[in-house]
Amino acid sequence: MNLLKKIPAIILPACLLVVTACNQSSNDKKTTPMTDSTKNAVLPDTAAYAKTINGKQTHLYILKNKHGMEAAITNYGGRVVSIVVPDKDGKQTDVVLGFDSVGGFQKSTERYYGATIGRYGNRIAKGKFKIDGKEYQSTINNTPNMLHGGKNGFQEMVWDAKLIDSATLELSYLSKDMEEGFPGNLKVKVTYSLTDDNSFKCDYEATTDKTTVVNLTNHAFFNLNGEGSGTVLDHTLQVDADTYVPVDSTLIPLGKIETVANTPFDFRKPTTIGSRINNDNVQLKNGKGYDHNFVLNKHTITTAIATIIGDKSGIKMEIFTEEPGLQFYSGNFMKGLNAMKGGKKDEFRTSFALETQHFPDSPNQPSFPSTLLKPGQVYKTQSSYKFSVAK
C-alpha cells in the first residue's frame, strides 16, 4: 500500500501557518465536570496551558460532539491530553494519559505522551537513509538510531492552530529543509475531530518542495479503564494481522516479515495483553515486551483493523486506518517517574499505544511500503479510534 497520492500539490496559504485562536475566550475558561457526579472525569484547566514556548503561544483546545464525548488537545506538540468517553456504567472516563499543565509535558521523561509524531514516526537505523543516491543523516536520539523524528521532532513544536468548529481542530506546521536532517520544506496539516459515532478522527496531509521521507502518526498512550487505574495487561486485544516485523535488539527490523502463528504475536483472536508477554521469546526480549509493527491484512478505512477492551470499564476502542502497519507498544519503558493528570504515576505497563503508520526503517528496507514523498505529490492518510461499550 502506498498512500502518497500523485495529485498536484496545493500550496497551503500562509494564513494557515498563523495561529488562529477561534473561540479562544471560551476555551480559556476553566472546565468543569461533565455532570455533577464526582466520579466523572474532569478535563484539565485550560489556563494551565496558556504559556509562551519558543516565542509562540500555547493553548488547550476542548472538542465535544453531540453525545458529550470530549477531547482536550494542546498545540504544544499537537498533543492529545484527554479523551473522555462513558464506561459500561455511564461513568465519564478519561482514557488517555496526559498532564494537568503544559509544563508537565515539557518536564516529562517520556517525550511522546499524546504527541503528533513526525517527520518520521518510529525508527530509522543509525539515522541514515538515501534518496536518489544521496545519503542523509537524521538526529540520533535513541542510540544508535533515530526515533520519532529526532531530538526535536514534531512533539517539541508549537503548532499553529485553528478551531474549525466545536468538534474539529486543525493544526499546521512548516518543517523547514534539513530540520533534524530531513530534506525539503514540509508543510504539514493535521486535523483532529470528534464524530457523532464517538470516534476520534485523525486526518494527516503534507506537501514538500524536495523529495523526502514522511511517516506521520499520533502517539496517544491509552488505558481504557481510565488514566491512573493500574495495569493494562488484562485488556483484551485483537489485531487483524497474519504477520509482523521482527526486530533486532535496537528495535530495527531484520528485513523480513514473519507469521504470527504459534507466537506471542498472534492477536487474531481476542487475547489479553499480559497472557504471553513474559514468554521465553527473543522478540519479546528485544522489545522488553511488545514494541512491534504488525503488518495489517488487506483492509479499507471502513473496516476495524484492531479492537481493544478495558477489562474493568468495558470500554471498547476500535481502530480504523488507511495505513499498512500498526505499532503496538505495551508500556515497557514506563518507570513511574511522572505524575499524570490525576496525580497517579506512570508506572510500568499502565498504558499502551497503538500507532497507525508505515513500517519502521522503511527508507532502508526496499521490500517495505514506500515512505517517499516527492514534489507535486500530496501525503494524505486517515485513521480513527472509535469508542463504545463492549456487549
> pLDDT above 70 covers what percent of the chain?
90
pLDDT of res. 295? 98
pLDDT of res. 39? 79
- H/E stretch holding 162 reads strand 160-165
> Any residues with CB less than 8 A from the CB of 213 and at least 6 apart, and which?
119, 120, 129, 131, 182, 362, 363, 371, 372, 373
> Any residues with CB less than 8 A from the CB of 134 and at least 6 apart, and which?
none
How crowded is residue 201: how many other Cβ atoms within 10 Å of its Cβ? 18
pLDDT of res. 6? 37
Contact 300, 323 (CB under 8 A): no
Is the pLDDT reported for residue 9 higher than 60?
A: no
pLDDT tens-digit series, residues 105-132: 999 999 999 999 999 999 999 999 999 9
Q: Average pLDDT in the 84-102 region?
A: 98
User: Can you count the helices (H) and strands (E) in the chain?
Assistant: 3, 29
> Any residues with CB less than 8 A from the CB of 262 and at least 6 apart, and which?
none
Domains belonging to the chain, first-starting first, are 4-219 (2.70.98.10), 236-371 (2.70.98.10)
pLDDT tens-digit series, residues 323-365: 999 999 999 999 999 999 989 999 999 999 999 999 999 999 9
> Any residues with CB less than 8 A from the CB of 24 and at least 6 apart, and which?
59, 163
DSSP string, 18-72: S-B-TTHHHHTSPP--SSS-TTS--PPPGGGG-EEETTEEE-EEEEE-TTS-EEE
Q: Measured between alpha carbons, how far is 114 from 167 in angstroms, rounded to an integer?
A: 18
Residue 35 vs residue 374, higher pLDDT: 374
**Catalytic residue numbers?**
219, 355
pLDDT of res. 15? 35
pLDDT tens-digit series, residues 271-291: 999 999 999 999 999 999 999
pLDDT tens-digit series, residues 184-195: 999 999 999 999
Q: What cell was used for 57?
A: 503561544
pLDDT of res. 390? 97
Q: Average pLDDT in the 214-242 region?
A: 98
